[in-house]
Every structure is written in C-alpha cells, then in structure tokens.
Amino acid sequence: MASMNGKAKATRTSAKPDKRPAKTAGAKAKAGGSRNPLLAPWTTPFAMPPFDRVKTRHFMPAFDQAFADNLAEIETIAGMRAAPTFQNTIEALERAGRGLDRVAGVFYNLAGTDTNAAIQRIEREVAPRFAKHSMRVYQNAKLFRRVDALFKKTGSLGLNEEQKRVLERYHRSFIRAGAALDAKARKRMAAIAERLATLGTSFNQNVLADEQEFLLVLTSEADLAGLPDALRAAAGQTADERGHKGKHAISLARSSIEPFLQFSARRDLRERAFKAWRQRGANGGKTDNRGIVAEILALRAERARLLGFKTAADAALEFTMAKTPASVRKLLMEVWRPASRRAGEERDELQLAVQADGGNFKLAGWDWRYYAEKVRKAKFDVDEAEIKPYLQLDNVIAAAFDVAHKLFGVTFTERADLPVYHPDVRAFEVRSADGRHIGLFLADYFARPSKRSGAWMSGWRDQHKLDTQEVRPIVVNVMNFAKGAPGEPALLSIDDARTLFHEFGHGLHGLLSDVTYPAVSGTSVERDFVELPSQLYEHWMMHPQVLRKFGRHTNTGRPVPEALLKKIKAARNFNQGFATVEYVAAAIVDLDLHALKDVDDLDVDAFEKETLSRIGAPDEIGMRHRIPHFQHIIGGYASGYYSYMWSEVMDADAFSAFEETGDIFDAATARKLHQNIYAAGGKRDPADTYKAFRGRLPTTAALLEKRGLTGARP
C-alpha cells in the first residue's frame, strides 16, 4: 500500500473539528495540560513521541487544546492588517497547526496499528470534528482572500519553483474546500465533509470488526493437510495469540490466509476461508458497508458538482499526472487486454490440473492459488515452501538496509532506548554517509487483532527547513506478517518480501526528503507518483545479487543455491495474468464508481457484478478488493487505485536505467535517483521530476515486458 501520512498536511486538509466553542474546549484542555504528555514539550531523544507516557485519556483534552490553538493561529494570520506576502501568509500557514499535527500523528497511527474500543470511540468523535475544523480553516473568507491575492500574482512575487508549488497547493486546498463558492454552497460543502469523515471511520472500523470476528481454527491433522512446516508454525502462533493454545488457526490477515489458500489440500476449508475473506464488509448487520459506500459515493458526486466537475473522478484526477478519467481508462485497458488473455490461458491450464488431480469440479476462486502452486511446481520445479526458509524476516530487513546503503550511503542503527507504541515495534536511527542524523525509522511488522490489515508507511514528523534548524523526519513502516513459532524466526513469502521492500521504499522517500516546506515534503506528491519510489525499490529485492547475499537458509545458514535462483527467475512471470487481472479489475471498478453521475439508490453488489461482467473479468479471479472492504478508495485513493499501475509504468523503466549500466548499484545513476526522486518531494511537477532522472517519460511497453504480458495469445 501507499504512504499513509497521518499528520500535518494530511489531517489539516482532510478534515476533523470542534463541536464546542474554541475557548471552552481550550480552557478544559489547559486544566490538565501540564500533566498531558501530548501537550508538554517532548524531551525524548530526537523529540520522539513519548509513547511510554501517552494514555488513551490524554487524547481528547489534547485534541481540544490543539484545535483551539490552531484556530487562534488561523485568526491571527487572517486578521493581519499588512498586505499578504508569501512569508506572512503561506509560511505562516506552514508553521500553524503543529500542535494539532503532533496529537493527530500519534492518535491516528495508534488507531491504525493498536486500536481498542476506547480509541475507536474517540476516532468516531474526532473524525467529524476534524472535518469541521478543516472547513473552518479553508473556508475562512479573510484567509482565502489573502491566499487568492497571492496566487493571482504568482509570477510577480519572485518565488522559486518550490515556493510556487507550495502556494499552488494551498490555493488548491481552499478552492477544493469551497472557499470560492457562495455561502449556501460553502455550508453544504462543510456538511458533506463532516458526514464523509464519519462514514469513512465507520467503514474502516467495520472492516476491522469483520476481520477480528473470523478465525478458522484447525483442530486435527486432517485440517492441516498440505500445509508446509513454516505455515503450520505461523498458524500455531496465531492460534496461541487468539486463545486456542495448542491448535492452529488461520486469520484474515493476508499473510495468513493467502498461503493457506495456496497450500491447503482441504477444498472445503479453502472455500470457507476464501468466502469470509471476500465478504468482509458485506455480512449484513451493523458492520455491513454497502449502504455506507453508496452514501459516500453520492456525497462525493454532489461535492464534485458543487465544485463544477462532471463527476467525482474528474474532480479527483484534476491535479494528478493522469489528469482525466479518459487517460486513466486508456492505460488500464492497454494493460487489461493482454492480461485478461493471459489469465484465460492460465485458467485453462489450472482446470487441466484439477482434472489431473482427480477433481470433478469447475475451478473456483478458492482453488486458483492452490492449483497455481501445483502447476508452478510442475513447470519450474519451485514452490513457496522451498523458497520461504531462505527469506527470514531479519535477513530481508538487512537486505533492505544494505540496498539503501549501497544506493544512498545511509546506515541504520537499532535504538532500544527509544519509546515505541507496541512491544513488536523496532526503532532505528538513520545516518548519512558523512554521519549526519537523517531521521528515525520505526518498523511494525507483525499482524495482530488490534491492527488494521494491509501494509503502509506513515509517520510523526516531516522533514523541512522552514525553521532555523532543519527538522528531520520520523517514519514508520507497518505490515501484517505472521510470526514464527516461539523461538523460531518469521519466514516470508516472496510477496511478503516484496511488500517489505515496497513500504521501505516509501520510508526512504520520507527519510531522504530534502525540501524547505512541509507541504511538499517526502511523500507529499501527486497520488499517481507516490508509488514510484516504493515500487521501484521492489526491483532490488528479487535481484540475484541481493538474494545471494541475504537469502540464507533458516536451518543451515547456507545461501540460496544457484539452481534455485535460476528457477525463481524462470518462474517470476508465472501467474501474472491472475495478478494483473485482479488488480486492474479493482482499478476499473474504482474509476467507474467515481465516474457515476447518478448515484442515487446505488446497489453496490449489482454495480460490481455488472462492471466485472462488462470487462470480461473471469469469475475465478474477480477483483483484488471487493467494494465493501476496498479501503483504498474510501481513503486517499478514491479514483486513484490505478496509480499503482501508473507508477509501475515508470518503475519498470526507471530500474532499466541501472540495468543499462551493467550495475544495479551504479553510483552516478543512484545520485540522480536520490536527487530527483527520493529527495525532491513535491517541489517540482512529477513529470519534470521523472524526466530529470531518466531524460524522458516511459511507455507501457516496459511494464508489459516486466510482467511478461507481451506474448499473451491474441
């Protein structure tokens, strides 16, 4: 998944507010301020959040105070008598809200990684308050006049490229909040924002509730048929943690259920697990998300119309590299056609494997991964069970660090003295080649019931140089890997290892940032560019040069045999029809949902079925995320799930820049990558940023070749 930066820029512009008068809220917060670690100065090393002292009871008073303080800052900026300048208006806005950023950063990271009933109650209350607060900022008429006046004379202000981008970002935020609309429309925009915040919180909490509710307990040896030792160990650990000591269990965490679907010889259990996985958010009752989705889409469509757009997709894509729904659809269909042909070939091959295995049934969704593993073993003499012992979690982490050192000169030193929010979390100090402090990197790798599913990068502080002393970032990578048995290392699948490298690529994007202004720091780039640094970094994980060094067998310590490396390379594009189809199908459904003009009485299930039927999506594959649990499109990826594919067009071409030199760590190419991609943040237009690195823009040809789809049967 993408970067999910839960602080400053994200919270200020995405909304959340105060139902009570600011003075009253502030007065109540001040009463306990001296005892509230969220409000006091952070004296921890590197001003790390004092997780060891923060309690759930501290959040609401801290939010009250932070909202009040931020509104006071906004009124001061808006009420200035002096004519607006970039310094007294835009830079002042960049400095405002830091207290709110701190509180929100801690809270929302915990809400995603280690939640409980009390935190969820606060989240439900604070989400609409944040929306209301954001609108009070971005619909402030006096403040908008100042920003608008500056924007209209951008060319005469003597601004550098980064300052122009920051001014454009702020002006865009005001326009998108409805600041230029009449009073009635502004009021409606504020109401929509508040309602969307409430619905989005409910949606995510419902998905987590369904994930927590399901557990497939395996009680006999027959239930474990086909499961390799590593998966058995992980399932035993899951059972122990969920109160079924001595048994085995499969959860709905992707690192648990996907390998189960891949290896379990029990078709009945695969079907049960698969259907539970697919039905998250669509089980009826209080956690059903289908009505919530319909209302969210209706509100987004209404908001787009108020802003003068035809559809929510048009509004969402205006400031992306893609620009329009038509260009997104063109990209997706260019990939869809060869991918769907390849998926059809794969389906036919798997159906033959079913028959060869004595099965008298039509291949279903819960069969695909199981028979794909059989076919891969037969065709390439390699399976995940053979590879996994060479992918110990600690070794893959070391590989990610080593690649970063070779490319960018940075080093990672674990710091046991820093406070963390959960015992599983590890903290590292990051330093440059010349020994300078670069930032802090936190890693939270293991699944638990209190953590939402998926993988993401977030953080507590962005890099910037707005103050006299440069501020360095604190970022976190969050994943949901299965733990090994007690005393045994966690072993990763190839997909898990890629995920770790992917999120670490996001982490480096934040850590290596070298900009002046927080608004364009690190991952604060266009949505369809943000996945480039992360997807590009995945290429190093699977390179033989990296695997030879860090792929060590968990029992013998021996390196990955050359014969196995050759087999992995030969099989790398196996099942790519499936992988591409399930992703692109989800991206098309996302785009079509937000391209709707009439969203009244939307039947989510019928829409999903009709769209997949129209594009010819195989029933055995479907889409990677069904609408009722499609958290990307409820969050920051609305109309933007395509961006993984858009970025893949670039990452396939970008890695070729290294391959063309004959050295995947070529120093000159790495310097250009560092300067123009990882350090540049959003201070330049992304197309210009990419061309500065590569000298040109790529085409889909590199992507199709990377996925092995260029030879798909006509």
User: Can you spell out the DSSP letters for 215-266?
Assistant: -EEE-STGGGTT--HHHHHHHHHHHHHTT-TTSEEE-SSHHHHHHHHHH---
Q: Are 651 and 690 in contact (CB under 8 A)?
A: no
**Cα separation of 707 and 517, whole Å?**
38
For helices 290-306 and 604-615, what crossing angle results, to 10°?
A: 80
**Cα separation of 532 and 534, whole Å?**
5
Q: Which two three-digit tokens encode residue 476? A: 């976190």
**Cα separation of 642 and 623, whole Å?**
13
Catalytic residue, candidates 123, 373, 384, 503: 503
Looking at this protein, which amino acid is placed at residue 147?
V
Q: Which two three-digit tokens encode residue 314? A: 């048009």
Residue with tokens 């998905």: 207
**Cα separation of 451 and 279, whole Å?**
19
Active site residue 503: yes
Residue with tokens 């009040």: 68
Handedness of CA 506, 512, 517, 520 (dihedral sign): negative
Spell out the residues 6+ positions from residue 331 whose beta carbon is closer than 8 angstroms to its own.
322, 642, 645, 646, 649, 700
**Cα separation of 111 and 107, whole Å?**
6
**Cα separation of 15 and 595, whole Å?**
24
**Cα separation of 151 and 157, whole Å?**
9
Spell out the residues 6+ positions from residue 629 whose beta carbon is closer than 8 angstroms to its own.
207, 210, 280, 281, 282, 289
The DSSP code for 526 is -
Side-chain-facing half-sphere of 341: CA atoms under 13 Å: 13
Just list the catalytic residues.
503
